[in-house]
Structure formats: structure tokens, C-alpha cells
């Protein structure tokens, strides 16, 4: 019969857990550094991005106005058509 492996001392298990925790902390710190770098690059480019988006914003405002006018026109035409049909049916 095979002998069971001797139990791992508690201090050694604690040491392994400490090493795993330290490794995770280091990994998290690297990730946070990467995120900070990306955020810094984005914040530096923000004025340029905003300047490029302003003309687009104006165009979208115009498109929205034209869309609303088109929808209103279609609804008005439908209403006029319905009134005409009601008048024809009443005669």
C-alpha cells in the first residue's frame, strides 16, 4: 500500500498564499498603470476630438430638424387624407 504524502506545514501554505496574493497585487498594479496611461492619452487628445466633432454635431442637428419636419409632414398628409375620406364617405 502506498504511503500518504506528509501534510504540508501551515507556514508553507501561508507562504504560498502570500505569494499568490502578492502576484495578484502586482498584476493589478500593472493593469492600473496601463489604464492610467490610456486615460492620460485620451485626455490629451480630447480637445482635438471635440474640435473635430463640432461640425458633425451641427450636421446632426440639421438632420434631426429635417427628420422631424418630414415626420410631421407625413403625419399631416395622413390626417388630411383621413379627413378627405371621411368627407367623401359622409356625402
Q: Going by C-beta distance under 8 Å and a sequence separation of 6 or more, which residues neighbour residue 27?
A: none
Whole-number average pLDDT of the chain: 88
Quote the CA–CA distance of 51 and 49 in Å, as a whole number: 5
The confidence band for 91, taking pLDDT boundaries of 50, 70 and 90, is confident
Q: What is the model's pLDDT at position 3?
A: 64
Quote the CA–CA distance of 68 and 44 in Å, as a whole number: 37
Q: Containing H/E element for 5? A: none
What is the model's pTM?
0.44
Q: What is the model's pLDDT at position 45?
A: 81
DSSP 2: P
- Of 44 and 19, the one with more pLDDT: 19
Quote the CA–CA distance of 53 and 59 in Å, as a whole number: 10
Amino acid at each position: 500500500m502506498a504511503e500518504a504524502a506528509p501534510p504540508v506545514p501551515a507556514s508553507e501554505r501561508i507562504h504560498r498564499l502570500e505569494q499568490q496574493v502578492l502576484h495578484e497585487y502586482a498584476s493589478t498594479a500593472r493593469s492600473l498603470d496601463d489604464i492610467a496611461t490610456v486615460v492620460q492619452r485620451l485626455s490629451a487628445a480630447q480637445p482635438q476630438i471635440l474640435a473635430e466633432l463640432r461640425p458633425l454635431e451641427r450636421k446632426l442637428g440639421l438632420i434631426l430638424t429635417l427628420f422631424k419636419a418630414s415626420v410631421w409632414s407625413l403625419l399631416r398628409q395622413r390626417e388630411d387624407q383621413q379627413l378627405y375620406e371621411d368627407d367623401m364617405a359622409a356625402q
